[in-house]
Amino acid sequence: MDKQRDKRGKRQNRAGCCHTRPAARRIKLRSVRGTAILLISAAFVFLAYPAPGASGGLSDLRELDVVSRTEPIYFSGDTFSYNSKTGIVTGRGHIEIIQNESKLSGDTVVMNLPERRAEIEGNVAAARDREVVEGSKGVFDFEKQEGIFYGARGRSEPWYVTANQIQRQMTGEYYVDDGALTTCDLPHPHYHLQAGSVDVDPGRRVVARDLALFAGSVPIFYLPYYSQGLAPGRPPIEFEAGNQSDIGAYARLGYNLELMKEISVTPHVGAFTKSGIGAGLDGRVRLFDGDGIGRFDSFYISDTNEGNTDEQGVDKDRGKADVYYRQQITEDWTGLLQVEYLSDRNYLKTFEFDEFSEREQPETFLNIDRTGEHSVISLMMRERLVDFIQDVERRPELRLELLEQEMRNTGLFFSATNDVAYLNHEPGGPESARNFTDARASYPVRLWKMLSLVPFAEGNVTYYSDTPTDDNEFRLSWDTGLIGQTHFQKVYGSPVSRFTSLRHLVVPTVAYRFRPRPDEEPEELPQFDSIDLIDRENLLEVEVRNYLHGKRENGHISELGQYILTADMEFDDGEDKLAVLENELLIRPVTNGELALKSLNDFRDERRTDLLSAVLRYTVPDSFMASIGVIHEDTTLRPFDTQAVYSLSKAFGPLWRVGFEQRYDFAVNDFSYQEFWVWRDLHCWEALVTLRDREEATTVMILLNIKAFPMKKIVSRTAIYPLGENAPWPTRW
């Protein structure tokens, strides 16, 4: 008998229907062994697959969605029995069912075959990889694909979940009654989110009602309704507090709410002891299956601090409104809308300094373009919405570009542009309709496999409906020239052991352009952009690019440095002079260190400019960063401005980070900017305290955030990146 059983077991193993662990007791009722196995398989199918039509899995209460219907199932238990009259199979003691990386376990299981129902009780647990759901009891209906987990608690990275019950609907959606979520792994978590009810749409979004945020056992915030996608996103609440000398002690509170998968909004308020209370609404949209992506940001405050509004052009009604939206209309057509409004030039500096330091002049435009294989068509409307800047309005501008292409295998390349627009320079500047047509022909040749020459000729005609002297005017202009480029290299032995050899690559480019004086000079025409500045040119441009590469024993090549020199020489009316000189240097002598330098010198009297930015930087990723640099700016608008800039960031283990940045202005012999910060890991929370001192105000800021939801303001301040990643130049130009 034992031999027959052994043979039968081997046949089952070869067939792949089941595998039995040696330590597990087999079902003694031969007639129902296969039925029991199939039913247990069905339990796994129920846990593993959503109902027809449902999508994906969950991120916080995810189904065991990798279980395969065809993979072998291992099961074990102390005893199994079958009642042939009732069709009930009962398993007792250390019930364990395993398939791949998934496991279902409990103390007892009762399976009703006629009703296709099963109950598993006592230390019930379903696990896959690092995801675990436990409970006191589970009831499953295989026919309807519905079930309930009682006294449920679960783990799905990074969430810990507890609930009175978790119910799975036939539609594949989940209902959680009296649930709590936290990312804190302590027995008594530092925080948790308590919800009266939670609806989960697998793979899409979660909707919670009567949601309260607890710090320990103390409720600190209540949300009547909260909705968010299951992908990682922003925290439910964003909070910032501090004190700033020109607006007073302040607190900012934002409430992130996902109205649906494609639209999320953030209503937010700010209270300032000197400036009053303001409010705004931000949002993100993703429409038409991702073909339309946009965001909007707004804030309004009636500033009660007269010290902020007594400056000319600053009204007490202050704020901003920004809209950015990009729509992929078809494969070739794209629309882009940008609206940027600021009440005054000092608003961002006062209320949103972090954005002010990165923001350029406000621009508002609508652009629709089509990009084809050989052409680009664009239509633009551009408006000036703010009265404290100068801008050129385009009402509208239609531009057609024929991209450079070869003409019938002749070796001759042709390109053309036509730009027609009605332009208005605000405030109080000229306005005119303008049509600009330009055509260019070139004939590239290659000599000796290392020298490229491109002779070219270009001509353009421009029409103006209004000029300072006439109602309409035509301007004719043409130019010709030659572009040459070559490259050469040399390999040297390496003086350092980490490289087997060094390679120096040089790529020089020389371009000569001659343009006779056009029939209408720039001072005779309205000025809107570079098209109107076309004038006589007799110019030689020289660019020399140098690269130094190091080769390691494993064949990997690293760039150790680069130096780019660009010089423009003008030959004008017998007066030869160096017009523009640019330098760009990057040296990485060691793995974690670099020296970077940029300079621009324009020697022409009407455009005199001297700019220099240099920085020496040393970084150990996620541990240490130090830099020291200099900024120099000397222009007709900003004469002699020189500042030393230095900063340091240091991580003290995983719990602490500190840093500072200072700028010393040599013109006033004082610091123009200082910032000191301390970051602390508070287990599942994080805190950032910042002290910032600048000419306009002094700010003390405190940010408190849940680590599971990274906050941009904290990451941008405390992250220590490798060289070459997010390392800005210390410059304003």
Assign 457 a pLDDT band (cuts: 50, 70, 90): very high
Assign 598 a pLDDT band (cuts: 50, 70, 90): very high
The answer to whether 378 and 399 have CB atoms below 8 angstroms apart is yes
Mean pLDDT computed over 380-389: 93
Residue spans of the domains in the chain: they are: 2-175
- Per-residue pLDDT tens digits for 681-728: 998 889 999 999 998 889 999 998 888 778 888 888 888 888 765 554
pLDDT for 153: 81
Mean pLDDT computed over 371-384: 96
The answer to whether 369 and 333 have CB atoms below 8 angstroms apart is yes
Q: Is the pLDDT of residue 239 over 50?
A: yes
**H/E segment holding residue 4:** helix 2-15
The answer to whether 630 and 614 have CB atoms below 8 angstroms apart is yes
Q: Is the pLDDT of residue 58 over 90?
A: no
What would the two tokens of residue 703 be?
């940010």
The answer to whether 345 and 388 have CB atoms below 8 angstroms apart is yes
Mean pLDDT computed over 376-389: 94
Mean pLDDT computed over 398-426: 95
The answer to whether 238 and 256 have CB atoms below 8 angstroms apart is yes
Whole-structure pTM value: 0.75
Assign 573 a pLDDT band (cuts: 50, 70, 90): low
Q: Is the pLDDT of residue 521 over 70?
A: yes
203 or 29: which carries more pLDDT confidence?
203
The hierarchical CATH code for the domain 2-175 is 2.60.450.10
Mean pLDDT computed over 387-394: 92
Closest CA to 280 of 222, 228, 346, 347: 347
509 or 17: which carries more pLDDT confidence?
509
Average pLDDT, the chain: 82
Task: Tell me phi and psi for residue 91, to 5 degrees.
Answer: -120, 140
CA angle in degrees (0–180, nearest 5) for 519-523-524: 55
Mean pLDDT computed over 580-607: 89
On the CB side of 611, CA atoms within 13 Å amount to 21
Closest CA to 256 of 277, 231, 236, 271: 236
Q: Is the pLDDT of residue 312 over 60?
A: yes
**To the nearest whole percent, how much of the chain has pLDDT over 70?**
83
What would the two tokens of residue 46 be?
């129920």
Mean pLDDT computed over 271-280: 96
Residues in contact with 606: Cβ distance below 8 Å, sequence separation at least 6, in sequence order: none
Distance CA 491, CA 298 (A): 57
pLDDT for 404: 95
pLDDT for 130: 61
- Per-residue pLDDT tens digits for 192-233: 888 888 777 755 667 888 888 888 888 888 888 877 665 556
Task: Tell me phi and psi for residue 387, to 5 degrees.
Answer: -95, 5
pLDDT for 101: 67
Strands 364-371 and 117-128: unpaired
Assign 71 a pLDDT band (cuts: 50, 70, 90): low
Strands 159-168 and 117-128: unpaired
* Cβ atoms within 10 Å of 555's Cβ, excluding its own: 7
pLDDT for 36: 34
Length of the chain: 733
Distance CA 56, CA 205 (A): 11
Distance CA 675, CA 622 (A): 20
How far, in Å, are 168, 328, 358, 566, 729 from residue 614 at the CA level? 61, 40, 19, 17, 8
- Per-residue pLDDT tens digits for 459-468: 999 999 988 8
pLDDT for 158: 66
pLDDT for 685: 87
- Bridge partners, residue 489, by sequence: 505
DSSP state of 43: H
Q: Is the pLDDT of residue 37 over 60?
A: no
Q: Is the dihedral of CA 296, 302, 308, 310 positive or negative?
A: positive
Mean pLDDT computed over 99-104: 68
- Per-residue pLDDT tens digits for 646-662: 999 999 999 999 999 99
* CA 627 to mean position of chain CA atoms: 25
Mean pLDDT computed over 669-679: 94
* Range list of β-strands (E), 407-450: 413-426, 431-442, 445-447
637 or 499: which carries more pLDDT confidence?
499
Assign 170 a pLDDT band (cuts: 50, 70, 90): confident
pLDDT for 172: 63
N-to-C CA span, the chain: 90
Closest CA to 432 of 456, 471, 464, 389: 464
What would the two tokens of residue 277 be?
């209370």
Assign 18 a pLDDT band (cuts: 50, 70, 90): very low
Mean pLDDT computed over 610-636: 91
174 or 600: which carries more pLDDT confidence?
600
Q: Is the pLDDT of residue 639 over 50?
A: yes
Assign 100 a pLDDT band (cuts: 50, 70, 90): low
- Per-residue pLDDT tens digits for 114-160: 877 778 888 888 776 666 778 888 887 766 767 788 888 876 666 67
Q: Is the pLDDT of residue 263 over 50?
A: yes
pLDDT for 459: 97
